[in-house]
Amino acid sequence: MNRKGILVVVSGFSGVGKGTLMKLLTERYGQYALSISATTRSPRAGEEDGREYFFRTREAFEELIANDQLVEYAEYCGNYYGTPREYVESQMEQGRDVILEIELQGALKIKKKFPKALLLFIVPPDAKTLLDRLRGRNTETEDVIQKRLARAAEESEGIEQYDYIIVNDDLEQSMELMHHLIESQHNKTDRNLAFIHQIQEEVREFVKGEK
């Protein structure tokens, strides 16, 4: 069967627990590569350049755009965010499933460029949980929290454009569900046409030989 890497887009409101979920998934299964985005936002306490993000100035980011070094990019709450092309392409060629943790606009651009990409949207069990998590994180000012909540409301309008939702109630369960959804994608018939044709041919030959 075809085990070429799948492009997996993961979106979800700020504070929904995407980061923790991705960390758990990549630690548990070796088949995943987590893309590191470039951004113009400032690092939060504890974030390191090259680990959470490649932190760049606006000028440096615009250079990445001009040189076509990003698969997609978008503006989110006043900052640029974008996916570096080289890593995504090389990891997929090596058979890894590449996960892009990106927002709605970027997700839609990916779907257009890569129609076979799998789009997953993580939701909290309810809206209050989201606010509690965002506040509990203690990394953003109230003003930023308000901006992110407004953006969450906007993004919620786009959820139907994704392939699946994952309700992040229990981390372990959400992680396993995500893994199974990706595994199922590998078995889709349209991803395995060469293999299917080979089986069909073998069966035809076998039947001929039996006659």
Report if residue 124 touches ligand 5GP, rule: CB under 6 A. Answer: no
We find the least distance from the C-beta atom of residue 200 to ligand 5GP, in angstroms, to be 41
**Spatial contact of 5 and 118, defined as CB atoms under 8 Å apart:** no
We find the least distance from the C-beta atom of residue 126 to ligand 5GP, in angstroms, to be 19
Concatenated DSSP letters of 69-130: -EEEEEEETTEEEEEEHHHHHHHHHTTPEEEEE--HHHHHHHHHH-TT-EEEEEE-SSHHHH
Scanning 1-9, 78-86, 115-123, 178-186 for contacts with ligand 5GP by CB under 6 A, the matching segment is 78-86
Scanning 80-88, 168-176, 181-189, 195-203 for contacts with ligand 5GP by CB under 6 A, the matching segment is 80-88
Scanning 100-108, 130-138, 176-184, 185-193 for contacts with ligand 5GP by CB under 6 A, the matching segment is 100-108
We find the least distance from the C-beta atom of residue 65 to ligand 5GP, in angstroms, to be 12
Quick count: other Cβ atoms within 10 Å of Cβ 86?
9
Quick one: 37 or 174, whose CB is closer to ligand 5GP?
A: 37
Report if residue 80 touches ligand 5GP, rule: CB under 6 A. Answer: no
Give CA angle at 112 (107, 113), nearest 5°: 100
**Spatial contact of 11 and 121, defined as CB atoms under 8 Å apart:** yes
Q: Which of residues 34-73 bind ligand 5GP (CB under 6 A)?
A: 37, 41, 72-73
Report if residue 17 touches ligand 5GP, rule: CB under 6 A. Answer: no
CA-based radius of gyration for the chain:
20
Helix, strand, or coil here: 11? strand
Torsion of CA 72, 73, 74, 80, to 10 degrees: 170
Scanning 21-29, 81-89, 124-132, 177-185 for contacts with ligand 5GP by CB under 6 A, the matching segment is 81-89
We find the least distance from the C-beta atom of residue 106 to ligand 5GP, in angstroms, to be 2
Question: What are the two backbone dihedrals, phi and then psi, of residue 160, each rounded to the nearest 5 degrees?
Answer: -60, -15
We find the least distance from the C-beta atom of residue 98 to ligand 5GP, in angstroms, to be 12
**Spatial contact of 84 and 36, defined as CB atoms under 8 Å apart:** yes
The answer for 53, left when phi > 0, alpha when psi is -120 to 50, beta otherwise, is beta
Quick one: 5 or 106, whose CB is closer to ligand 5GP?
A: 106
Note the residues at the interface with ligand 5GP (CB under 6 A): 14, 37, 41, 72-74, 76, 81-83, 101-103, 105-106
